Chains A and B, each alone.
Chain A
Amino acid sequence: MRGIVKRFPGVLANDRIDFDVRAGEIHALLGENGAGKTTLMNILYGLYRPDQGQILLNGRAVAIHSPADAIRLGIGMIHQHFMLVPTLSVAENVALGLPSSRGFLLDLDVVTRRIRELSNVYGLRVDPTAMVWQLAVGEQQRVEILKALYRGADLLILDEPTAVLTPQEVRELFATLRRMAGEGHSLIFISHKLHEVLSISDRVTVLRDGRVVKTLPTSEATREELARLMVGREVLLRVERSPVELGDVRLSLKDLWAHGDKGVPALRGVTLAVRAGEILGIAGVSGNGQRELAEVIAGLRTPSQGQVEIDGMDTTGWSPERLLKHGLAYIPEERMRDGVVRDFSVEENLILKDHVDRPFASGIFMNFGTIASYADRLIENFDIRTPSRDAPLKNLSGGNIQKIVLARELSREPRVLVAAQPTRGVDISATEYIHQRLIAQRAKGTATLLISEDLDEILNLSDRIAVMYEGQIVGVVDQREATVEQLGLMMAGAHKV
């Protein structure tokens, strides 16, 4: 790809990007959110058209106007959010859009046979007759890869393929990718996880603000250097955790049961305790009850059985309002849905939880002067990058929106903090900042329940780590003794090893 330029209203997403991939190579594309990785790949896959620049394939200039063109040219893409139809079978998903050997009629038996062949060659275990909604995430990803291979893809784009996988599944995926590269396929691996890039790729191209910062062979790269290239300054990859004197138990869960949205039990007897000055990490593959756990504690979901105690008081069934007055802070997993109001200003979002109380209100009147100075102080203290306190929140980046949630919750001096996926979709520099803040809160004696799918984050911040699987706590390990391997096994349901 040569000199690719793509503008979106108000943003230059790709600025004269040169990028090349060799046959049989795994080329990593590294960058923060919004650096332009996905845009560049969507151009290559025909989902967007570039404003300038050209794409050469095997030395020949090609025009790619649609995914159909890309597929015809042997380009396949595994999207970050899988492009599968859950109500169809694996074979139907693979056959979708392809001409059938029987013309108008489907030829699923032929497709099924061919899928089995490909599965064997590349070690992609999957049952072609299974319905996609029944498959685990790792299997769904294998279906995506099969779809591309079935279409004869020589060049495969993988957009953050490991985001949803357990460490074991990542290892299987990497083995498959190496085998594919060995067969002569070229792979583009998009990621912002440094260790993955270092372990799988042959070369790395780092993007920042829509430009190529550098392309280098992976063997010459280090974590620190890649992080610096990505962010544009030195980055602390590990936060310093000084030992903290543990206090009393602040949050205690006793045999909690709760139903999920589909009416089946999502929590099945969770018992945990978090003490003042402690961060308890909850690790697990998403969908194993973490969301429901956070919601039960925050008063958003009624448990069917069991107890929640905050500071020794039984708070089971309390309303969210009463809970937050009692010293609970909650950073929700879906910040855009549960954490902020998109169309409100930064300032309004900062006082959402306290807008009826002094000093922000007297009776039914709001004290705008107080609110403004308070907002300005938080914007400064929490390094929130916003044009002004009146700017609509929706114009801010994900990292800054998360800082607003963090500022609102932490400035209430919580006794108990539930932080669900606090850095999901947030770039490295904001992540670094959020981590430091959480650690600072720990030093102040807050009891923190940290729910995250990012094992590095869990290992980095937690004092103890509890692993959740199918609504139960599989085991609790001390951070100093925990290994990624062990946690990975527990996340897959194996009991404490």
Chain B
Amino acid sequence: MPEGDGSTLSGPPLYVLMSLATGPKHGHALMKDIAGFAEVRLGPGTLYGAISRLEDRGLIAALPADERRRPYEITPKGAAVLEASIVNLRRVVDVGVSRLGVMARPSSASRPLLRGELA
């Protein structure tokens, strides 16, 4: 958990941080990048809602506008929160995978029935 923050991110704010981890981007570039790696098209309102909340928390910072488009970059605090969020996600995924593994293995009581059905 990053010091002084006490939270991890998920959903659109996490996607925005992940996208900015590879370099500064403006809104349209963020939408395209997120659609590429997460296969999720964020609506413009959702995207800018996430951007404004992340900026409020100091996790991203606005750069000088390029013509009419304003790029954003991830801050060191944002990078720490992103790392903590990914670690947390990985832990949850590991639990999910292990539990799915248990569910996928037929119990000893059901094995004869399965064999019978296959025969």
Say if A and B assemble together.
no
Give the interface of B toward A (CB within 8 A): none
